[in-house]
Chain A
Amino acid sequence: MMFKRRYFLLLAALFFCFGALLFFFVHEGRLLLPEEEPAARYNIQVIFKALANPPDFWRVVEQGVQSAAAEYGVNCEVTAPPMEKDVDRQIELVREAIAKHPDAIILAASDYERMVPVCKEVTDAGILLVTVDSDVNYDGRRCFVGTDNVAMGRKLAELVDEAVPPEQKIGVMGHVEGARTAVERRDGLVDNVAGGMERVAALDYCDGSEIVSRQRTKEMLIAHPEICCMVGLNESSALGVANAIRDLGLEGKVGLIACDSSEKQIQFMEQGTIQAFVIQNPFNMGYLSVSNTVSILQGRTVPEVVNTDSVIIKKEDLYKKENQKLMFPFTSVE
């Protein structure tokens, strides 16, 4: 029986060898299999709140979108209504996008509530919906990529308290009443600033227009001479405020805390009209919205909310290297 046992040992060794050989090659082979499918070229429709120019913000978001599109090999078509407040036009644009049967639609919603029905149309058509920058009040969207706007408002409050003593009043210029970003930043500001709502002497909206903002700020500052510091809740509104302050010759008397950075805003900061920014990271927003969309399309799970950072920039550290990197999008060729 000794012999029989040896025989079985031999057989076992033989099978082990074959097994090892097979395992090795299968294992090595599997390493090779492309983990991500070499992307059927996805078509993604991207709809912003406003055209890229004049607001720099959307230009940078688009850079992020195109950068990701190039990296992941997807087609991104970017459209936007001419004006930020033009909700109806955006709804039309979404419908046009649906008609093109894309794989996904990335939307920066002009209005938190009014965009809901058309968003339903998107998902009903079997198209993936991802929101960027401004969310919509609809569960069907799979992912939201944007700044934590409440945190951004808190940072604004922090800067206000640094710039002016607590007894001095402030004025707030928002972009679009009802837009999620405006509501959250305002709430973050008002809830955290010393003195709360009492502190806010005036609150107005400019419908996302720099010209309107400039006009209304002038009216506000004339009506409320007690205002010592203004807060612009986005790029256009802040630019309008800065222009108004200059128009009224109030530089140095009325401070300005702004959201986002654009070349014009930076010029205002260099001149001293704007004391500080809370900047978002529009490039990352655009990039991450596309990369997450691609992930979902490839069947992976992504968090429902992806927050991009907001950062405080003050005049004195405007040209610090790390801030340069955040504020000035790197483009090799203009």
Chain B
Amino acid sequence: MRKVWKKLRKALNPYSVRGTMILSFMLLISIIVLLVSLVSYYYTMNDIESISINYTVRLLGEINASIDSYIDNMKSMAKVVVENKDVRDVMAFYNRHHDKRLSYIEEKELERLRANAAAHMNIVANTRSDITNIAVISKYRDVVLSDVEKEVNENSEFNVTDWYLKPMSYKDEIVVSPSHVQNLVSGEYKWVISISKSVLDPETGEVTGVMVIDLNYRSIEAICENAQLGKNGYIYLIDRHKNIIYHPQQQLLYSGIKSELVEEILKMRDTYLRDDVNNRIYTRNYSELTGWSAVGVVNVDELIKDKSSIIDFYFRLAGISILFAMTFAVLISTTITNPIKMLENTMHEVEVGNFDVRSEIELNNEIGHLSKTFNVMISRIKDLMEKTVRDEEEKRRSEIRALQAQINPHFLYNTLDTIIWMSAGGKNDEVVEVTSALARLFRTSISKGENLVTLLNEVENIKSYLTIQKMRYEDKLSWRVDVPPGLLGLMTPKLILQPIVENAVYHGVKMSQAGGEIAISARTEGERLTITIADSGVGMTAEQLEQLFVPRPDTDRGIGVINVNNRIRLCFGEEYGLHYFSAPGEGTRVEIWLPVIEGGDEDDV
């Protein structure tokens, strides 16, 4: 567990590119997944809803069609009844004999007519189980029932009802009356729908009475209940006058336990109405024939039966997407940042001094380029460092050689010979001078190991050297050192004068029959210090000058000069070094070019 946590923290470390990348990817993908799944969820929901609304509308259309054809049937049946001769006859009879006392024969005639009409009506009534009763009623309220067994309710006030009055005034119309309690038959109080039509006199065409067919709800209920609108969905019928014709819970509505939308439905203009309180959708289909509206009620939650599975689906989809996204975020980030990490590791190696490592990333992208550049850089640095080491070694070697050259055994025993010879000659003063010069020469040569010494040190060194040589060559050699005191504090590489002066002594002055003079001077020109060593010796030909800087391993000659030149250039660069000016018979002038370097202390004086 702790390991996992540690790993997680490492992966999400805000101070790493990888962590930031993973986090950003996850955030971005999560937001997108969230949005997409929300949008698709609502879209799916809407889709399902509109599909089921369409379905309901179609269903209601079919129901209305069924009801229309049912009512149509009933109307034709009504026509059949009113066209019947017996029915017309009995009504005509009542009409004619209104308010008259009937004779015995007339009574018998009436009895016969009534029986015939009732028989006809009964046949029609018995064809269908949804007809509770058929009756004809004359203008003067004489009633003939289809069922001769039943009695007329003498107290029924049918003469004020719509189903009786309307056909009286509109003789051609077939009137469909909405739900009401029919009390025409004694002892029966049934909720019915009445279809009524005027009965006309066969001869005059006058209205003689009204025929009424009472329908129970069997057929309408069957039509409405056959339609499936889910477990809690249902269908009800309303007419134009806000009456409920049929409702599966009609009694609950009548007794006030439940209520149903009626006015809102009649007012609605859309194809559907949403009741957000009960989460229901009402759809309506209007029938021109009956003037009734079939209303379908669908429970929204139920309508989307698969809502839970849809939610489940989207939830899982979102979960899986995010999981995938995370895995990919980690993978992609790792792929991108791994080379960087590798490069970083390589750099660490270099940091601790290993210049032999090379970044082995071979990618053709920015990081690949970076890696290549890095490799080039490292190899350059390595070269430079090797060069520095080489140069440094070279300098050391040169100095040692210069030292070796100076402590030349020949020079030493020549000098010692000179001292022996002088002390044999009793020249004590000269012995002291040469010996102290020799001591000073060595002291100034063996400095404390610094590369650079003061010009003063060099001048002291060369003065000692020349003092010794003067003892050997006496009149043949004269010398002069003319360095302005202001320049004595400047710094020079050590032992650069002695090899050149030695050259001047051995190859310039010594070769000349007349001897010669060695003059040493120094000046500054801007940032350059120039030390000049001039001799009035034999001088050099142009070939000799050319050969001067070519090393010749067979002889020591010239080594000192090359050594000095190399050392100066190693220390200060190519623009410094030795410059020879010479011609045969005209002596040689050597200029040592050095940068002006102000010295630290002049205590060495």
Contact = CB atoms under 8 A, between A and B. Distances in A.
B555 interface: no
A10 B314 contact: no
A133 to B, nearest CB: 15
Interface string A1-24: 001100100110110011011001
B311 A270 contact: no
Given A24-B38, A325-B255, A332-B221, A263 B318 contact: no
Interface string A262-287: 01101100110000000001011001
A326 B179 CA distance: 14
B311 to A, nearest CB: 5
Interface in A14-41: 14, 17-18, 20-21, 24-25, 28-29, 31-32
B27 A17 contact: yes
Residue picked from B15, B307, B311, most chain A C-beta under 10 Å: B311
Contacts of A309: 256
Nearest to B312: A29
B23 A7 contact: yes
B529 to A, nearest CB: 55
B30 interface: yes
Contacts of B579: none
A10 B19 CA distance: 12
B217 interface: yes
A4 B14 contact: yes
B180 A324 contact: yes
A17 B30 contact: yes
A190 B16 CA distance: 94
B47 to A, nearest CB: 16
B40 interface: no
B interface secondary structure, majority: helix
A267 B187 contact: yes
A53 interface: no
Given A25-B311, A283-B251, A332-B216, A14 B26 contact: yes
B364 interface: no
A33 B28 CA distance: 32
Interface in B166-198: 179-181, 183, 186-191
A67 to B, nearest CB: 6
Contact of B191 (A4, A10, A270, A331): A331
B338 interface: no
Given A13-B27, A32-B307, A7 B20 contact: yes
Nearest to A28: B311
B103 interface: no
A217 interface: no
A24 B35 CA distance: 11
A332 B20 contact: no
Nearest to B191: A330
B257 interface: yes
B216 A270 contact: no
B181 A319 contact: yes
B156 A332 contact: no
Contact of A14 (B15, B30, B156, B191): B30
Contact of B254 (A10, A28, A29, A325): A325
B327 interface: no
A263 B257 contact: no
Contact of A17 (B15, B31, B153, B157): B31
A14 B257 contact: no
A270 to B, nearest CB: 3
B156 A284 contact: no
A117 B30 CA distance: 68
Contact of B27 (A10, A25, A28, A326): A10
B315 A25 contact: yes
Contact of B216 (A67, A319, A333): A333
A321 B189 contact: no
A333 B311 contact: no
B14 A329 contact: no
B218 interface: yes
A332 B27 contact: no
Contacts of B216: 332-334
A98 interface: no
A10 B31 CA distance: 12
B354 interface: no
A45 B214 CA distance: 37
A67 B153 contact: no
B30 A330 contact: no
B398 interface: no
A256 to B, nearest CB: 16
Contacts of A264: 187
Given A17-B34, A21-B34, A330-B251, A11 B189 contact: no
Interface string B240-268: 00000000011110111100000000000
B226 interface: no
Contacts of B315: 25
B594 to A, nearest CB: 54
A293 interface: no
Nearest to A281: B255
A25 B308 contact: no
A281 B41 CA distance: 48
Contact of A270 (B153, B180, B217, B254): B153
Contacts of B183: 266, 270, 319
Given A17-B31, A32-B301, A288-B257, A328 B191 contact: yes
B46 interface: no
A63 interface: yes
B213 to A, nearest CB: 17
Contacts of A330: 179, 191, 250-251, 254
B24 interface: yes
Contact of A32 (B180, B256, B308): B308
Contacts of B127: none
Interface in A275-328: 281, 283-284, 287-288, 309, 319, 321, 324-328
A281 B251 CA distance: 11
A14 to B, nearest CB: 5
A127 to B, nearest CB: 26
B365 interface: no
Contacts of A333: 216-218, 221
B252 A287 contact: yes
A17 B28 CA distance: 10
Contacts of B33: 21
B189 A263 contact: yes
B204 interface: no
A48 to B, nearest CB: 18
A9 to B, nearest CB: 10
Contacts of B23: 7, 10-11, 14
B30 A18 contact: yes
B223 to A, nearest CB: 12
Interface in B17-70: 20, 23-24, 26-27, 30-31, 33-34, 37-38, 41
Contacts of A7: 14, 20, 23
A28 B301 CA distance: 11
B155 interface: yes
Contacts of B191: 328, 330-332
Contacts of B15: 3
A328 B251 CA distance: 9
A332 B249 CA distance: 11
A2 B406 CA distance: 68
A325 B315 CA distance: 51
B180 A284 contact: no
A281 B153 CA distance: 25
Sorted nearest first, the 9 A-B pairs with minimum C-beta distance are A270-B155, A332-B217, A325-B254, A7-B14, A330-B251, A17-B30, A330-B250, A25-B315, A324-B181
Interface of A: 3-4, 7, 10-11, 13-14, 17-18, 20-21, 24-25, 28-29, 31-32, 63-64, 67, 71, 263-264, 266-267, 270-271, 281, 283-284, 287-288, 309, 319, 321, 324-334
Given A32-B308, A331-B251, 12 more contacts: A17-B34, A21-B37, A21-B318, A25-B318, A67-B249, A267-B153, A267-B186, A270-B155, A288-B257, A324-B180, A329-B251, A333-B221
